[in-house]
Amino acid sequence: MALGDIDADDDSREIPVTEQVEQPAKVMRIGSMIKQLLEEVRAAPLDEASRVRLKEIHSSSVKELEDGLAPELVEELERLSLPFNEDSTPSDAELRIAQAQLVGWLEGLFHGIQTTLFAQQMAARAQLEQMRRALPPGAGHEGADDPRAAGGRTGGPYL
């Protein structure tokens, strides 16, 4: 799919991930927090109270993430992150798996954003080069608007 060639009548085209993240700063903050939390949890033994707290943090993090995402990504996140049983406290392993899964999903999302931005940048460069080639000879060269490049004066009348 070429960027910028979005046909409004074609529903089969995928929306770029950069447009699906409605609040990127919020998603990045929550993602960083979850990743740091996973690192801390890996090294520490979890008692009953800490497992309950981590379960609450996980659930609230998923809800907060959903606020910053487009409906398509919310649906994907809900399919992948199964809720914990309300009646029991999850085990250490269940919590670590859920946190690692969420971190992995977020990292995949971030990589998708980076890839999309890189592709957009490359498409913009190609378009700029195409526009430069379409200009008449001598026009559009770098520094053409800069009088120093042509050997002209750059200061006022006294310099």
CA-to-CA dists, residue 70 to 74, 136, 144, angstroms:
6, 44, 44
Look at residue 147 in the predicted model and tell me its pLDDT. Answer: 53
DSSP 8-state assignment for residue 123? H
Nearest in space to 34 (alpha carbons), one of 81, 85, 84, 89: 81
Domain residue spans in the chain?
17-134
CA 155 and chain centroid, separation: 45
Query: At residue 95, does pLDDT exceed 50?
Result: yes
- Residue that wins the pLDDT comparison between 140 and 108: 108
Quick one: what percent of the chain has pLDDT higher than 70?
79
pLDDT digits over 42-78, tens only? Answer: 888 889 998 899 889 988 999 998 988 889 989 998 8
| pLDDT of amino acid 140 | 56
Average pLDDT for 98-115: 89
Q: Could you tell me which of 86, 80, 131 has the C-alpha nearest to residue 101? A: 80
DSSP state string for 75-101: HHHHHHSPPPPTTSPPPHHHHHHHHHH
Mean pLDDT of 147-154: 56
pLDDT at 9: 46
Q: What is the rounded CA–CA span in Å between residue 63 and residue 66?
A: 5
Residue 10, pLDDT score: 47
d(CA 145, CA 131): 17
Alpha-carbon distances, residue 47 vs 40, 56, 84 (angstroms): 14, 14, 17
Token output for 1 = 């799919």
Is it the case that residue 83 has pLDDT exceeding 50? yes
Supply the pLDDT for residue 8: 44
Rounded-to-integer distance, Cα 117 and Cα 124, Å:
10
| CB neighbour list of residue 124: distance below 8 Å, 6 or more residues apart | none
